[in-house]
Amino acid sequence: MAALGSAQADVVGKGIEQVRSDDGIDRVEERLRTALDERGMVLVTMVDHSANAERVSLSLPPTRMFLFGNPEVGTPMMQCQGSLALDLPQKMLLREEDGTTLIEWNDPHYLAARHNLEHCDLPLGRVADALSGIANQAAGG
């Protein structure tokens, strides 16, 4: 794993999980879409932040946000605490930095703490494992 810049090191571990890939963002996106499909996840949309920046004459390295989920898992979480809908569906960010593609997502345990879900019986470990598996498959691992 390559060294993180100081700003990046400050956010990883504070609710943000990360995997790196030596492959370009297009290849990582292809594997991410496959991983989501293989797990029966619903891809809601993809936001191309760099394309949006370009439309207003600004620039970003390739940066794409994928929103996806499984209503059978997400709905009980939102039933427990409605504010969780601010963070669902799940998001996975692909962005190029220093010749690598970063894959980043919110740690579900962090979201549970943020939304006070301690009193709910939710499969947070299973969700965390699924997100990690998706990210690692997208990274090519």
What does the pLDDT look like over 109-140, one tens digit per residue?
A: 999 999 999 899 999 999 999 999 999 999 99
Q: Is 10 inside a domain boundary?
A: no
For the chain, what is the domain count?
1
Q: Taking the model in full, what pTM does it have?
A: 0.89
Instruction: Report yes or no on 82 lying in a domain.
Output: yes
Count other C-beta atoms under 10 Å from residue 55's C-beta. 7
**Which pLDDT value is given to residue 113?**
94
Give tens-digit pLDDT for 62-120.
Answer: 999 999 999 999 999 999 999 999 999 999 999 999 999 999 999 999 999 999 998 99
SS3 120: coil
The Cα 53–Cα 89 span in angstroms is 23
Domain that holds residue 107: 16-139
Contact indicator for 123, 117 with CB cutoff of 8 Å: no
What are the pLDDT digits (tens) for 22-56? 999 999 999 999 999 999 999 999 999 999 999 99
The answer to whether the CB of 100 falls within 8 A of the CB of 22 is yes
Return the SS3 of 141: coil
Q: Is the pLDDT of residue 5 over 50?
A: no
Q: Are strands 63-69 and 90-97 parallel, antiparallel or unpaired?
A: antiparallel
Alpha carbon distance 48, 65 (integer Å)? 7
Residue 3 lies in a domain: no
